[in-house]
Copies of this chain bind each other. A is one copy, B any other.
Amino acid sequence: MKPLLEDIKQELKAKNIYLSHQRLKVLECLIQNHCHPTAEELFIGLHKDMPTLSKTTVYNTLRILAESDLVRTITIEGNESRYDIVTGDHGHFKCGSCGMIFDFPIDFDSLLTKELIRFKIIEKNIYFKGLCPECISNKQKIK
């Protein structure tokens, strides 16, 4: 599940991708924050300790990591991409009230219907929208 930085470093070396200071910081941030941040959020968080960091570098790094399958790009909203260091199959739930994104497990085998038998599946994505338990109970209180 949760990947270790050391393992990722190994994979990067194996794929001949140079691990610069900036790239390392982006990776660390993704590993520590499983909140599926946007590029902007990553930039803001990293910029505090790295005032010279460029937003372009954040985007470049995320693209390289995604192309190497070390990061998964999540598109839920259409006007923003989010990034997930957990690349294994799992679903995402976005709460429409607080905006939080939750992971949940998925049995992908049960999804493979006969209609897809002749298709080659490379990437699988599932996301739900609705209300998280916290926000549901908050609404109850207001009533």
Binding site for B on A (CB under 8 A): 73, 75-78, 81, 91, 93, 96, 102, 104-107, 110-111, 113, 115-116, 118-133, 136
Contacts and interface: CB of A to CB of B under 8 A. Distances in A.
B122 A131 contact: yes
Nearest to A73: B78
A141 to B, nearest CB: 16
**Top 7 A-B pairs, shortest CB-CB distance:** A75-B78, A118-B133, A110-B110, A122-B130, A123-B129, A120-B131, A121-B130
Contact of A133 (B76, B77, B102, B119): B119
Contacts of A110: 107, 110-111
Contact of A130 (B111, B120, B127, B130): B120
